Amino acid sequence: MTPPEFRRDPLHNTWVVFAPERQRRPQDFAPATLQASTLDPFAEGSERLTPPEVYAIRKEKSKPNEPGWRVRVVPNRYPAMRIEGKLEASPVGLYDRVTGIGAHEVIIETPDGDVAMEELPVAAIGEILSCYRERILDLDKDPRFQHIYIFKNVGPSAGASLAHAHSQLVALPLIPPFVEGKLVRAREHYLLKQRSLFSDILHTEHADGSRLVTENDSFVLFCPFASRFPFELAIFPKRHHPDFVSCTPVELHDLAEILRFALERLSAVLEKPGYNLLLHTAPLWRPATERFASARHDYSWHLEIVPRFNSLAGFEIGLGACINTVYPEEAARFLRGEARS
């Protein structure tokens, strides 16, 4: 049995304990499933059950808020923030308070509620990614927002309440401390070494090779050195750029291709696990975010795919660390199809 080991993630500044003695085979990671609902508010023909759409990719001559769409974006019916109102900040004694202004949108990825993202054609996934890009560009016009974050929850273990394939977007009037931490670490690495942390990670993964899963002309798929969760994956662009919206049509196609491959392999190896898909991009360029202007040189947008099997417990919550039972080198072997069950 491989001995346990502590590993540090230089991007997230987290320590991970790898405990292989607690390891289970990939097929033993049994996913929780959502119960099918007789009423699917995201299905084609149920447009009246959602707020009016703010964006859609539709068949020619189809009308807004009617059938005929391929990807549809609507405000979240139960938003974490509200877009209406005035942005105000005020102290509460020692504490800080900001009005809950923001956007919270749902990107409905397909009219068919029985189809998962990895079951869609590459071109259809490309349309979803294009939709991400268009919504960021549109919300960037609102000067109240400083940061936009897109994520996808699949399965109850990952926080999903509906089975129909969808992603979510939040536009925030601030930069969360977790994001600030990544930006600061990227800047410190660049100042120290005159090289991007992201480029150094890619160089290291290529040189080592044991954690690489696959790559194409534009992207690299790998299991991070200090993966926080079993079978965690990262997708890094080969062309260094801080903003996801910089993606060209060719890059969006290549991203759709490698994302589909990643989700297909996770589904095959782990039998359709719950997971979170996380899109990280630089803050919006504002006077209020000028302190992170160096992100234009030292930060790179990227995707994370985090399979979810267990909830956080006292060790993780109290210490800000994670226990992972699968070394990334072993996970990469399984995902490449090289490991035996």
Q: Is the pLDDT of residue 340 over 70?
A: no
Q: How confident is the model at residue 334 (pLDDT cuts 50, 70, 90)?
A: very high
Which range marks the domain in which residue 234 is found? 5-336
Give the model's pLDDT for residue 3. 74
CB 144 within 8 A of CB 101: yes
CA separation (Å) from 98 to 87, 89, 141, 172?
7, 4, 20, 11
Q: What is the pLDDT of residues 4-54, one digit of tens each?
A: 787 788 887 777 777 776 555 554 555 666 655 568 999 999 999 999 999
Biggest distance spanned by C-alpha atoms of the chain? 62
How many structural domains does the chain have? 1
Residue 186 lies in a domain: yes
303-316: average pLDDT: 85
> What are the phi and psi torsion angles at 107 (to 5°)?
-100, 105
Residue 341 lies in a domain: no
Give the model's pLDDT for residue 24. 57
Residue 207 lies in a domain: yes
Cα separation, 4 vs 274, whole angstroms? 26
CATH number, domain at 324? 3.30.428.10
